[in-house]
């Protein structure tokens, strides 16, 4: 029996090697017949299976008990949960809160009717079933016309679903009529004015009211910063708002990020912008957009292309579907000692992510032109860019240049330059290129006309050439 228990213990712990050792001893030393050994092993296996089943049932029982405790807790906190849904906009609700709200709906029959429809709307809104949500909010309001939170969430739903910001604002105004001190209503109404209607002055009034009611509301300062940045480029005021948001919430990655954009747009303060982007990624290491914008800033700030490429690579590592990051990395490689082959690889990756990326085809065309004069490939790229965006004047101009260089196809080149001018009549460089094509094809009169037009548009080299050659 002791031997049986030994084998049993080893089997229970999946120690097959020691089981084999014991069995070998039983056969060779004690001389136990193999049939008996086989019976012992069979018995042990049955005992093991029984133990495993008992353990599994024990775990299931514990899970049932834990679920029962959770359900009981939810029921005990029913009123608190309903109140929490009213204080938390559906878009900001945690999964746990939605689960609890759904559970209450599933098992409780005695909710006040308005609360019942409010909860159903709340859950539907979170699931992006917007039309259903609005129907339930309207029913909740019909049953309880003073349910301000239903108006608030309905306003959010109209904004998210139909971008119907006018209706959303009417909902927020009703919230404020019912609860004049409800801070979130002012903040949301500000977002509707700013994001949806570009009425930034009204938006700022709303954010200021929210801050008046709650001076520690970091998100209101952040939103007000966005509004100032978009309203006549008031970047200094925008930065002051972001700084206040960060003072209240030192880990506010979005505030650092947008402050970086404001510094970049405000007279190209790239060094300060980079510091902001760096703080943004420290607050949120997964913020790909901050790495991307930091790359742009390094490129624009004294051509620090190597650092820029490192940032683009990090952005792509975090977001492999960022076609623009590949595109901008291509520009950095092109500008960094003319690494056209690497630039073309980047443009191809950008196009793989976004097959309709006209600018990537255009830039790939310019890279092929510059890289050992691969004009045929360049023209194919320009044609694809124009196919995707017929208004891309630069593609016509560069295709004209490629035709002019490739087998001196002046007629096709001039046709391209003319199309570029139709799209952008004030581009002096196109007139200069067309003038060169006319000159090389032997049409001096047309060439001088183009140079005069380029000079008229303020292109100094054209002015100087006409002056040096005494051409009026």
In order, the DSSP letters of 171-219 are HHHHHHHH-TT-HHHHHHHHHIIIIIT--HHHHHHHHHHHHHH-TT-HH
In a domain, 107, yes or no: no
Q: In angstroms, rounded to a whole number, what is the distance separating the alpha carbons of residues 396 and 373? A: 17
Residue 304: closest CA among 336, 330, 278: 336
CATH number of the domain residue 322 falls in: 1.25.40.10
- Predicted local confidence at residue 369, as pLDDT: 97
In a domain, 284, yes or no: yes
pLDDT reading at 21 higher than 80: no
- Predicted local confidence at residue 468, as pLDDT: 86
In a domain, 188, yes or no: no
Q: In angstroms, rounded to a whole number, what is the distance separating the alpha carbons of residues 299 and 292? A: 11
**Using one digit for the tens of pLDDT, what is the confidence trace for 295-352?**
999 999 999 999 999 999 999 999 999 999 999 999 999 999 999 999 999 999 999 9
CB 19 within 8 A of CB 11: yes
pLDDT reading at 70 higher than 50: no
- Predicted local confidence at residue 5, as pLDDT: 54
The secondary element (H helix, E strand) that includes residue 469 is none
Q: In angstroms, rounded to a whole number, what is the distance separating the alpha carbons of residues 288 and 283? A: 12
The 8-class DSSP code of residue 389 comes to: -
Q: pLDDT band at residue 223, thresholds of 50, 70 and 90? A: very high
- The region that residue 413 occupies, defined by phi over 0 for left and psi between -120 and 50 for alpha, beta otherwise, is alpha
Domain assignment of residue 320, given as a range: 251-343
Q: In angstroms, rounded to a whole number, what is the distance separating the alpha carbons of residues 188 and 168? A: 9
Q: Which token pair is 425?
A: 């009549």
Of 118-132, 143-157, 309-323, 331-345, the one with minimum mean pLDDT is: 118-132
State the pTM of this model. Answer: 0.78
- The region that residue 399 occupies, defined by phi over 0 for left and psi between -120 and 50 for alpha, beta otherwise, is alpha
Alpha helices (runs of H) in 77-144, residue ranges in sequence order: 78-87, 95-107, 113-126, 130-143
Q: In angstroms, rounded to a whole number, what is the distance separating the alpha carbons of residues 119 and 100? A: 10
Place of tokens 């490129």: 299
- Predicted local confidence at residue 55, as pLDDT: 80
Q: How deeply is 472 buried, as exposed, middle or buried, from its count of CB atoms within 10 A (0-12, 13-18, 19+)?
A: exposed
DSSP tally for the chain: helices H, then strands E? 26, 0
3-state helix, strand, coil in the chain (%, to 5): 80, 0, 20
Distance of CA 10 to the CA centre of its chain: 54
**Using one digit for the tens of pLDDT, what is the confidence trace for 194-219?**
999 999 999 999 999 999 999 999 99
Q: pLDDT band at residue 265, thresholds of 50, 70 and 90? A: very high
CB 358 within 8 A of CB 385: yes
**Using one digit for the tens of pLDDT, what is the confidence trace for 371-427?**
999 999 999 999 999 999 999 999 999 999 999 999 999 999 999 999 999 999 999
Angle at 51 between CA 50 and CA 57, to 5 degrees: 90
pLDDT reading at 72 higher than 60: no
Task: Specify the 3-state DSSP secondary structure of 31.
Answer: coil
pLDDT reading at 37 higher than 90: no
Q: In angstroms, rounded to a whole number, what is the distance separating the alpha carbons of residues 406 and 378? A: 10
Q: pLDDT band at residue 50, thresholds of 50, 70 and 90? A: confident
Q: pLDDT band at residue 142, thresholds of 50, 70 and 90? A: very high
- Predicted local confidence at residue 200, as pLDDT: 98
The count of domains in the chain is: 2
In a domain, 135, yes or no: no
In a domain, 393, yes or no: no
CA atoms within 13 A on the CB side of 439: 11
Q: Which token pair is 12?
A: 């229970």
| pLDDT mean across residues, the chain | 88
Question: DSSP characters for 141-166?
Answer: HHH-TT-HHHHHHHHHHHHHHH--HH
> Could you give the percent of the chain with pLDDT greater than 90?
69
- Predicted local confidence at residue 116, as pLDDT: 84
Q: How much is the CA Rg of the chain, to the nearest whole Å?
A: 35
Residue 244: closest CA among 221, 226, 217, 215: 221
Between 294 and 26, name the one with better pLDDT. 294
Average pLDDT of 62-86?
A: 63
In a domain, 334, yes or no: yes
From 318, 343, 368, the end of a domain falls on 343
In a domain, 439, yes or no: no
In a domain, 402, yes or no: no
Average pLDDT of 238-262?
A: 98
């Amino acid at each position: 029996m002791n031997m049986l228990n030994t084998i049993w213990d080893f089997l229970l712990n999946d120690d097959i090697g020691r089981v084999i050792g014991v069995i070998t001893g039983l056969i060779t030393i004690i001389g136990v017949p193999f049939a008996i050994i086989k019976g012992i092993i069979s018995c042990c296996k049955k005992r093991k299976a029984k133990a495993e089943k008992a353990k599994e049932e024990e775990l299931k029982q514990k899970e049932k008990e834990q679920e029962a405790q959770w359900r009981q807790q939810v029921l005990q906190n029913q009123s608190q949960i309903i109140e929490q849904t009213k204080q938390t906009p559906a878009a900001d609700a945690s999964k746990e809160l939605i689960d609890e709200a759904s559970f209450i709906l599933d098992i409780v029959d005695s909710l006040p009717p308005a609360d019942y429809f409010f909860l159903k709307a709340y859950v539907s809104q979170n699931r992006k079933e917007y039309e259903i949500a609005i129907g339930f909010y309207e029913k909740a309001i019909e049953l309880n016309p003073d349910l301000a939170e239903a108006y608030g969430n309905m306003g959010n739903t109209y904004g998210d679903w139909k971008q119907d910001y006018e209706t959303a604002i009417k909902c927020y105004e009703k919230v404020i009529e019912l609860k004049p001190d409800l801070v979130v209503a002012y903040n949301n109404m500000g977002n509707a004015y700013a994001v949806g209607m570009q009425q930034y002055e009204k938006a700022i009034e709303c954010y200021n009211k929210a801050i008046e009611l709650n001076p520690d509301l970091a998100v209101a300062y952040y939103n007000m910063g966005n509004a100032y940045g978009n309203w006549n480029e008031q970047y200094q005021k925008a930065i002051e708002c972001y700084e206040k948001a960060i003072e209240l919430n030192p880990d506010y990655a979005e505030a650092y990020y947008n402050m970086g954009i404001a510094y970049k747009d405000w007279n190209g303060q790239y060094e300060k912008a980079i510091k902001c982007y760096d703080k943004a990624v420290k607050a949120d290491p997964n913020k790909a957009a901050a790495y991307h914008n930091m790359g742009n800033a390094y490129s624009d700030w004294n051509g620090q292309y190597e650092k820029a490429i490192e940032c683009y690579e990090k952005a792509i590592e975090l977001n492999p579907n960022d076609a623009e990051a590949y595109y901008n990395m291509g520009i950095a490689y092109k500008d960094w000692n003319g690494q056209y082959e690497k630039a073309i690889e980047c443009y191809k990756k950008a196009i793989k992510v976004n097959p309709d990326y006209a600018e990537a085809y255009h830039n790939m065309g310019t890279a092929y032109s510059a890289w050992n004069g691969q004009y045929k490939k360049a023209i194919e790229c320009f044609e694809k860019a124009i196919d995707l965006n017929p208004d891309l004047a630069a593609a016509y101009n560069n295709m004209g240049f490629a035709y002019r260089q490739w087998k001196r196809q002046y007629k096709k080149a001039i046709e391209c330059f003319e199309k570029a001018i139709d799209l952008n009549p004030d581009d002096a460089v196109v007139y200069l290129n067309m003038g060169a094509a006319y000159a090389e094809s032997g049409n001096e009169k047309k060439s001088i006309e183009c140079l005069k037009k380029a000079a008229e548009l303020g292109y100094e080299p054209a002015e100087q050439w006409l002056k040096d050659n005494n051409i009026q």
